[in-house]
Structure 1
Amino acid sequence: MAKVIIIGGGIIGLSSSYYLRRAGHEVTVLDKGKIEGNCSYGNAGMIVPSHFVPLAAPGMVQQGIRWMFNRKSPFYVKPSLNFRLISWGLKFLAHANSRHVEQSAVPLRDLSLLSKRLYDELAMEPGFDFGLKHRGILAFYKTEQAAEEEAHLVANGRALGLDMEILSAARCRALQPGLELDVLGAAHYRCDAHISPNRLMALLQENLVANDVVVVEEHGVSEVISSGGRIRKIIAGGREFEADEYVIAAGSWSPEVGRMFGLNIPLMPGKGYSFMEKDAKRRLQIPALLCEARVAVTPMDGSIRYGGTMELGKLNRQVNLNRVRGIAEAVPKYFPGLRPLMPAEKDIWYGFRPASPDGLPYIGRSARLSNLVIATGHGMMGLSLGPATGKLVSEVIAGEITGMDIGAFSPER
């Protein structure tokens, strides 16, 4: 069995650790900060086989340009002469076409369905109650244009074997009797599910520690020593760490980490925001996506989590209150009875989604370093795709035939 070091303690890193440890490997997780502060904790908690269309899709460029002039819009790219952003943008433009969408649909579907099956298995394990519920997701729309887009998505999803359906406003009200709705209708992604990310991450950590996985926080990688096409050791937090295999699962920090390994990992951090409000009456039972507003609304542990936005740019700790205000103001336009208050800045969570230019994650071995595996670039679907990615990482390290074809996710593409 191998000694493995995983760089990154988010859902991808912890999931990889879980499956590697189950396979008998000796695992150490290194994280540059505190694990409880990473992107996975503030996630909307949605498991989404319905999301088989990558971010790089036709129409996204034009829509993104229109949104750039709205301070409360759900998507924003800060104009910059940053070479990395320009390079990423050119790659994004090259992939924003129907051919790429068609080629990506089956790999994304298969990765999502594998992850959903693994979540089901994980929920059956003793001590793993992370609030998994199979109620689907309702994607509500208010305009004819969004209705047409959702109908097209549902038709394509059904052709891929996914359980999806268009519902009238009346049928939506029957499914959510505790909510007042102001919508034309919704797409019901019955193939989807949702969980409590906070509980999942805490339980995963507890399980790993109980099974002798070493978790080392506040130890960012500062140096990599390699020779002969192999990593010999790394320096993190002033300490030396040696292993047989290494995994980069550092989310939006993966490009920075990758450069120390001599790699170029094309990713941009997409900042997202979320906040919670108590829902004592439990009016919301089924998670919702507000199509035109690009807002996610999820029932979670007696509260509702509101989340959204994608700010592409540099890593920073600034909270853009206009973006959060845009989330809060969008909700009552669909649910007149839900009027979330603008939260205090201290109650606003934010995190960075690692967005690849073609909208697909990177999963597989590095061609440059034979004992390095890359697992990053999941964008907004890190939580949804965590278990599948972790299982695939364990199979790659074991030299096994992977449970699904991962060619579309090659880090060398």
Structure 2
Amino acid sequence: MKKVIIIGGGIIGLCSAYYLNKEGHQVTIIDQSSMDFGASYVNAGYLTPSHIIPLAAPGVMKKGLKWMFNPSSPLFIKPRLNADFLRWSWAFNKSCSIKNVERSITAIKDINIMGRDLYSDIKQQESFKFQLERKGLLMLCQTEKMLEEEIRVANIAKKEGLPVKELSLSELEHIEPNVQYNAKGAVLYECDGHTTPHIFMEEMKTYLVNSGVTFYKNEKVHDIILDGEKISALHTKGNIHKADEFVLAAGSWSSILSKKLGIKLLLEAGKGYRINSERNLGITMPTILAEAKVAITPMQGFTRFAGTMEIAGINHKINKVRVEAIANATQKYYPNIEISEQEKNNAACGLRPVSPDGMAYIGKSSKCKNLTVATGHAMMGWSMGPATGKLVSEIISNKKTSLNLDAFHPDRKF
């Protein structure tokens, strides 16, 4: 048995604690927040084996530069004279290649499938009540050009063994009879699932407390004390925390803490927004509005509209222009659905840690022998959460990992 401290209480931190606790380790979670808001609570709740293409893909940087002057665009990169941002931007641009996509596809698919299946295992084993459905995911297209692009990606997914099919507008209307569409057609990924995030998070926190996991909320790590190539302790406000092993799962803040260890994790905070509607809108299928990059999820008691990737540093300011963009996109695809002013005013945001190549960092850095890194999942942190937690537990328990982690190595070069 080892004493393990996890820095970060989001989906990655909680799932790491879950599997480490199952292995018999003594686990403590330290988080600088109250652990009831942020990306793990406001995401679209998707479990997405379909998302096989990393964020860093051919043409994305070009689009990002084009959209830089449009604050309502799906991807908004705010230029800053900041050394870390400039290094990340250079690496991101370099990673927007066919080579990066080709070496990432199988690794992304495998960890997403593992994560999706582990949600089912957790629900069954612990008798959790959180919503977990496997209806699939629609990629809804308004233009022939986008439909052709989605079909091209779907064909790649088919080669990877994923069940996917093209749907005409009439087939769409058969699946969603209570919705009026303004679209050409869609691609349906039958392999995907969806959840209601905050319900899972609350159930998992309760389970972990009852299982003996210690929580320190609203406690920021101010300093990391090293003894040679190992961490000996963490300093928080007036407390010193010691352990045998440490897990860095602090999301967008991970790169700040990693600097204290001489580890240069290239990460940028990618802000996403969500709007909830408790009205019955007739939407029963999880759907991504392909051109607008807006995700729509029928959750437990409400419908969630989520989207945008705003890379503008670490902040939780609500940009009303981007909230409005989500609402406007929704009405373009669903002419009969209008998001109310009150719903828009209640919008929330979360920060997703984005690596330059769109791949998570999972594993041990050569620069610190008792630290396991688990961050950088971008838009797929929710989908990959349980898989990452299990992999972290396997690493710390000195077991053979369920997946090959070479593609996720924290020391990889860009």
Same fold (TM over 0.5): yes
CA–CA distance in structure 2, aligned partners of residues 126 and 31 of structure 1 = 24
1:74 deviates by: 1.3
Task: Note if contact 1:325-1:342 (Cα within 8 Å) is conserved in structure 2.
Answer: no
Q: 1:297 to 1:345 in 2, by over 3 A?
A: closer
Once the two structures are TM-superposed, the CA of residue 163 in structure 1 deviates from its matched residue by 0.9
SS of aligned partner of 1:269: strand
> What is the CA deviation profile of residues 114-142 of structure 1, one whole-angstrom value per residue up to 9, with x for unaligned ones?
11110111121243121000000111000
Question: Which residue of the partner structure matches residue 270 of structure 2?
Answer: 270
Return the alpha-carbon distance in structure 2 between the equivalents of residues 343 and 158 of structure 1: 42
What stretches of structure 2 of length at least 5 have no aligned partner? none
Which position in structure 1 is the counterpart of 2:48? 48
State the AA in 2 paired with 1:127.
Answer: S
Equivalent residue, structure 2, for 1:370: 369
> What is the aligned partner in structure 1 of residue 310 from structure 2?
311
- Whole-angstrom distance in 1 between the partners of 2:126 and 2:408: 32
In the alignment, does 2:161 pair up with 1:171? no
Q: Which residue of 2 aligns with 1:136?
A: 136
Structure 1 runs of 4+ with >2 Å offset: 342-346
Give the equivalent residue in structure 1 for 2:411.
412
How many angstroms apart in 1 are the aligned matches of 2:317 and 2:2? 41
**Could you tell me how far 1:143 is from its partner in structure 2?**
0.7
**Partner residue, 1:112:** 112
For 1:1-400, what aligned pairs fall within 5 Å after superposition?
A: 1-280=1-280, 283-343=282-342, 347-400=346-399
> Per the alignment, in what secondary structure is the counterpart of residue 19 of structure 1?
helix
In percent, how many aligned pairs have the same letter? 40
**Distance in 2, Cα, partners of 1:366 & 1:399:** 15
Letter in 1 for 2:400: I
Q: Aligned equivalents of 1:279 and 1:299: distance in 2?
A: 11
Q: Distance in 2 between matches of 1:71 and 1:343?
A: 22
Task: Give how far 1:195 is off.
Answer: 0.3
3-state SS, counterpart of residue 36 of structure 2: helix
Whole-Å separation in 1 of the counterparts to 2:130 and 2:305: 19
- 1:191 offset after TM fit, Å? 0.7
Residues matched between the structures, number = 412
- What amino acid sits opposite 1:53 in the alignment? I
Q: Does the 8 Å CA contact 1:319/1:345 hold for their aligned counterparts?
A: no
* 3-state SS of 1:289 partner: strand
SS at match of 2:133: coil
Work out whether residues 85 and 313 of structure 1, in 8 Å CA contact, stay in contact via their aligned partners in 2. Answer: no
AA partner of residue 19 (structure 1): Y
SS at match of 2:158: helix
Please state whether the residue corresponding to 2:295 is helix, strand or coil.
Answer: strand
Q: 2:277·2:343 contact (CA, 8 Å) conserved in 1? A: no
Once the two structures are TM-superposed, the CA of residue 50 in structure 1 deviates from its matched residue by 0.5
C-alpha separation in 2, matches of 1:224 and 1:230: 10
C-alpha distance in structure 1 between counterparts of 2:181 and 2:248, whole Å: 44
Query: What CA deviation, in whole Å up to 9, does each residue of 1:283-311 have, x standing for no partner?
Result: 11111100000101111112111111111
Question: Which SS does the other structure have where 2:56 is aligned?
Answer: coil
CA deviations on 1:363-403 (whole Å, 9 max, x unpaired) are 00121111000000000111110000000000000111100
Question: How far is the alpha carbon of 1:345 from its aligned partner?
Answer: 6.7
Residue 120 of structure 2 aligns with an amino acid whose one-letter code is D
How far did residue 346 of structure 1 move? 5.4
* Contact 1:277–1:303 (8 Å) recurs in 2: yes
* TM-score (normalised: structure 1): 0.98
Following the alignment from structure 2 to structure 1, what is the Cα–Cα distance between the partners of residues 383 and 238? 34
